[in-house]
């Protein structure tokens, strides 16, 4: 069975209509809290109040664009992405990632007191199989149905509404074969992309505190490992 090197980690904190009064100061405080992790050029957008709230007003990144942060009026996305390092496994990344993420959480809850009604964590992996990944996925999930046997690309998207500890969550599991290494590059028939997306179900009048937010993300990592083990017989 394959191993699952991490391509991307995306933690999302959903907030409620944050009003940006001094974007440069906010960006500076975030960077200070993370010990100047974001040493790349920041992007600060001065948009009118009626601009779509999904558009980030602040974008921060390190000089290698390995870690980045998008801050919009309704969500904060903290991302790890280092596709050129396929040997990096989750256990080698999780402590550093959570350390940074939790510093962001501490800041937004103690300094800005932002309500946080929803949370999400997305993990994306990319594996190199010994044979065509489509054949493995067909045999494992489609069994004796030969209709898709010769498909050059297969995708499985599965949503389960379930619980993780005391969190009501959506768990998306997305499996893709026929992956290209980039735009204009040939398809690698041995490549297997697997993504797990764990997010809390929208509920009214809910505001997760600092302790619950940190517990959620720690629990997500354990839950994701168990999901991969159950699905593929191999953990993250």
Q: What pLDDT was estimated at residue 21?
A: 86
Whether 217 shows a pLDDT value over 70: the answer reads yes
Question: What pLDDT sits at residue 181?
Answer: 61
Nearest to 119 by CA among 58, 198, 196: 198
Q: Dmax over Cα atoms in the chain, in whole Å?
A: 60
- Domain range summary for the chain, segments of one domain joined by +: 6-12+119-232
User: How many CB atoms are closer than 10 A to CB 195?
Assistant: 18
All residues at 6 or more sequence positions from 63 whose CB lies less than 8 Å from its CB, including other chains: 39, 40
- Tell me the per-residue pLDDT of 67-113, one tens digit each, with 9 for 90 and over: 999 999 999 999 999 866 657 899 999 999 999 999 999 999 999 99
Q: Which residues, including other chains, have CB under 8 Å from residue 226's CB and lie 6 or more apart?
A: 235
DSSP state string for 113-173: -----EEEEEEEEEEE-SS-HHHHHIIIIITT--TTTT-S--EEEEEEEEEETTEEEEEEE
Helices (H) and strands (E) in the chain, counts: 4, 9
Tokens of 197: 């997306």
Which carries the bigger pLDDT value, residue 192 or residue 49?
192
pLDDT score of 2: 73
Name residue 8's beta-bridge partners.
81, 124
DSSP state of 236: -
Which of 31-35, 89-93, 221-225 comes out lowest in average pLDDT? Answer: 89-93
Task: Determine the 3-state secondary structure of 102 from DSSP.
Answer: helix
**Tell me, what's the pLDDT at 1?**
63
Residue 148 pLDDT more than 90? no
pLDDT of residue 204 exceeding 80, the answer is no
Instruction: Give me the pLDDT at residue 74, please.
Output: 96
CB 57 within 8 A of CB 44: yes
Q: What angle do CA 195, 90, 133 make, to 5 degrees?
A: 45
- Residue 157, both tokens: 């998207």
At 51 the pLDDT is 92
Lowest mean per-residue pLDDT among 109-118, 140-149, 205-214 = 140-149
- Which residues fall within 8 angstroms of residue 137, CB to CB, at 6 or more apart? 154, 156, 175, 177, 192
* pLDDT exceeds cutoff 80 at 152: no
Per the prediction, the chain carries an average pLDDT of: 90
Residue 20 CB partners (closer than 8 Å, separation 6+): 26, 57, 58, 73
Residues 6+ apart with CB under 8 A from 99: none
């Amino acid at each position: 069975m394959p191993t699952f090197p991490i391509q991307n980690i995306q933690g999302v904190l959903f907030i409620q209509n944050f009003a940006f009064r001094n974007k440069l100061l906010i960006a500076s405080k975030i960077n200070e809290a993370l010990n100047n992790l974001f040493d790349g050029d920041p992007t600060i957008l001065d948009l009118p109040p009626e601009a779509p709230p999904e558009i980030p007003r602040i974008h921060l990144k390190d000089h290698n664009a390995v870690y980045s942060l998008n801050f919009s009026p309704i969500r904060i996305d903290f991302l790890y992405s280092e596709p050129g390092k396929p040997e990096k496994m989750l256990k080698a990344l999780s402590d550093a990632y959570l350390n940074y993420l939790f510093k962001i959480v501490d800041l937004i809850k103690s300094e800005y007191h932002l309500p946080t009604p929803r949370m999400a964590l997305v993990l994306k992996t990319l594996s190199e199989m010994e044979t065509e990944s489509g054949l493995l996925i067909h045999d494992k999930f489609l069994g004796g149905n030969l209709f898709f046997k010769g498909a050059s690309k297969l995708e499985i998207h599965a949503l389960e509404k379930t619980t993780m500890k005391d969190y009501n969550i959506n768990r998306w599991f997305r499996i893709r074969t026929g992956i290209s290494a980039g735009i204009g590059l040939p398809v690698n028939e041995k490549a297997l992309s697997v993504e797990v997306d764990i997010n809390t179900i929208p509920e009214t009048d809910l505001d997760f505190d600092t302790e619950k937010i940190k517990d959620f993300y720690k629990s997500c990592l354990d839950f994701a490992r168990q999901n991969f083990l159950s699905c593929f017989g191999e953990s993250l």
